[in-house]
A and B are shown apart, each in its own frame.
Chain A
């Protein structure tokens, strides 16, 4: 069974602690993506699960078994490495067979599993080639095939798409997702690419500085980031952060002033804040309404992508860059003054000291829950 339980996993290299008290439970059959900036410890965490790194403290269970002292092979995991790590001197067939031979499988069983994996990944024409005679995408498929033949409880992927070009990356992404649906095996996938995380994951684990920032479905994380880091990390372009102050506390929300004489209504739990408190407002570029009343936005330049347009500029008299998204064609002049208004209910409010999101208003939370 491919469920995984990490309890207080800690990892130090000498005096440097790279993972602090990681607690994580992954259910069988889930596609989980570890995402975070470089050096956040996501790859180390994956290697710890694989058994390629020892842990400094804590426990790891796979399928209810304590695996801390087991070798990678005994953990019944399979791993796809960033560089694919195909054995260069062996043919594709030998690459696929190597693990099974080590496990003393019968020849007929090995051949059957290779045939099955080759069919699944369309590798049949290449079985007798050496890895250097394959393209990047084909090597990637061989690396995945080498995992599949082992029939593991958990698949581990360490940034498997980072060596592919953009078009191939999209294609392989879809292939891995299809494979997951087909095999229904737990997959843990490490990436720094939030698009991969958003598109592939059942569940995303956001890591930063060796700590888990938030765990949830892609949309949960997108709609309700727990803190400023998650809010800034997911979504492209990044979320706009405005400094503001609570001016009034009402029944269902609070009024926040970010200057420019335009009070903004944020639906957060009134009990959590007091009037006069400083807060940070997070608004995604797509969540501005342009035109009519609103904050004064001075256009610097825009990027037209055909189906959508990103407008870069500042609020009048401010230095901080703000990004506004508009669907379709939109070409404001440089220096033009636009009025923009955050869409109601789309504002995220953070405590500037702790960086944590302030609790949402009760009906907002339940509404979102039904939605989810």
Chain B
């Protein structure tokens, strides 16, 4: 947005001044649709995570978290649910005693003496807004969710840090040193991009077993730290750093490691930020590999832990949604802090 433009003026701009053309309508429609397509699932998941378990599977689905209002009626042991009922052309709030086929037996909560039989079609439940905080508190207190969270944070943080250092070292060597076989090594690294995880999963697992890292967090950190995408991304970025800088540093008596640490790393910051974002996303959302490697509950990461709510016979959607929403938070935070690098970094490296 340019400096002098107010938000209103910015939003009401048209292709030709003073006229709303077809282009304007189409672009507005496209933008609104796109925004909704992205936003609705997230908002729905967020709101649903506040719904009680029974409300999530209600059809037709509702957007806002509501719960049926219940009232204690004298003469009945359990609280009864309140319904809006049409009786004799009048709309009344009544409590339902029981439902038999298409008829429901209702009673006036203020006058519980005489039950009335009402057609099911003519009634609708009385609801109020609610916040089912137990969706959040239950997993955090009753289950080991804080352990899962701690494991996930540890894996993501350590793996990302190691990814950055290891890949930057490889990229430095491949971009700034001339040696025999340098091209071949680079191509070899890049070509591993084409091997899907599923192909190497079994041999990789055997290796992890062999070095005794099964059911250890290091078993999911170490195999992932060297990434061809990272090497490629960083190498391409480092190629744009002039060699004269490195020569100047050599004349300035800097050791090769010092050149890497003091000159190359700071100047690669935008690409490192992009890789950090990718790495955080990959490690945080990683599911299959941790599921294979980790077996004891105290080592589970969040994603594996979430899987525990998905039983063979029932799925505890309310918990899954709540914890999914919670697990979005760290990634969102990383994005917020590093977002200014994303555009410059991605544009700079020519990566998508």
Residues in A neighbouring B250, C-beta threshold 8 A? 52, 71-73
Count of A-B contacts with CB under 8 A?
Answer: 57
Whether A102 lies near B267 (C-beta < 8 A) is no
A39 within 8 A of B: no
Q: Could you mark each residue 238-267 of chain B with 1 if its beta carbon is under 8 Å from any beta carbon of chain A, else 0?
A: 000010110111111111001000110011
Q: Please report which residues of chain A, range 79-93, place their CB below 8 angstroms from some CB of chain B when the two chains form the complex.
A: 79, 81-83, 85-89
Complex-state Cα separation, A71 to B245, whole angstroms: 16
Q: Which of B252, B263, B267 has the most CB of A within 10 A?
A: B252
A103 within 8 A of B: yes
Residue of B whose beta carbon sits closest to that of A73:
B253
Complex-state Cα separation, A73 to B256, whole angstroms: 12
Residues in B neighbouring A82, C-beta threshold 8 A? 244
A146 within 8 A of B: yes
With contacts A73-B250, A77-B251, A99-B253 known, is A85 near B267, CB below 8 A?
Answer: no
Complex-state Cα separation, A99 to B262, whole angstroms: 12
Residue of A whose beta carbon sits closest to that of B265:
A89
A78 within 8 A of B: yes
With contacts A83-B242, A98-B252, A98-B262 known, is A52 near B267, CB below 8 A?
Answer: no
Residues in A neighbouring B248, C-beta threshold 8 A? 79, 81, 85-87, 146
Whether B263 lies near A85 (C-beta < 8 A) is no
B contact residues, total (Cβ < 8 Å): 17
Residues in B neighbouring A87, C-beta threshold 8 A? 245, 248-249, 263
Whether B252 lies near A73 (C-beta < 8 A) is yes
Residues in A neighbouring B263, C-beta threshold 8 A? 87
With contacts A87-B263, A88-B267 known, is A98 near B254, CB below 8 A?
Answer: yes
Complex-state Cα separation, A71 to B247, whole angstroms: 11
A347 within 8 A of B: no
Contact of B244 among A72, A81, A98 (CB under 8 A): A81
Residue of B whose beta carbon sits closest to that of A81:
B244
A50 within 8 A of B: yes
Name the distance in Å between B252's Cβ and chain A's nearest Cβ: 3
Contact of B251 among A73, A83, A86 (CB under 8 A): A73
Q: Please report which residues of chain B, range 223-237, place their CB below 8 angstroms from some CB of chain A when the two chains form the complex.
A: none
Name the distance in Å between A124's Cβ and chain B's nearest Cβ: 22
Residues in A neighbouring B255, C-beta threshold 8 A? 102
Residue of A whose beta carbon sits closest to that of B250:
A72
Residues in B neighbouring A99, C-beta threshold 8 A? 251-254
Residues in B neighbouring A89, C-beta threshold 8 A? 266-267
Whether A102 lies near B242 (C-beta < 8 A) is no
Residues in A neighbouring B262, C-beta threshold 8 A? 98
Name the distance in Å between A97's Cβ and chain B's nearest Cβ: 10
Name the distance in Å between B179's Cβ and chain A's nearest Cβ: 14
Residue of A whose beta carbon sits closest to that of B263:
A87
Whether B247 lies near A85 (C-beta < 8 A) is yes
Residue of A whose beta carbon sits closest to that of B252:
A99
Complex-state Cα separation, A71 to B267, whole angstroms: 24
Whether A102 lies near B258 (C-beta < 8 A) is yes
Whether A85 lies near B245 (C-beta < 8 A) is yes
Whether A72 lies near B254 (C-beta < 8 A) is no
Complex-state Cα separation, A298 to B250, whole angstroms: 58
Complex-state Cα separation, A13 to B92, whole angstroms: 97
Residues in A neighbouring B252, C-beta threshold 8 A? 73, 98-99, 102, 146, 150
Whether A103 lies near B251 (C-beta < 8 A) is no
Q: Could you mark each residue 201-241 of chain A with 1 if its beta carbon is under 8 Å from any beta carbon of chain B, else 0?
A: 00000000000000000000000000000000000000000
Residue of B whose beta carbon sits closest to that of A82:
B244
Complex-state Cα separation, A78 to B252, whole angstroms: 8
Name the distance in Å between B42's Cβ and chain A's nearest Cβ: 37
With contacts A85-B244, A85-B245 known, is A72 near B251, CB below 8 A?
Answer: yes
Residues in A neighbouring B245, C-beta threshold 8 A? 85, 87
**Interchain residue pairs with CB less than 8 A apart (5):** A73-B250, A87-B245, A89-B267, A102-B252, A146-B252
Q: Which 6 A-B pairs have the closest CB atoms?
A: A73-B253, A99-B252, A85-B248, A85-B244, A102-B253, A72-B251
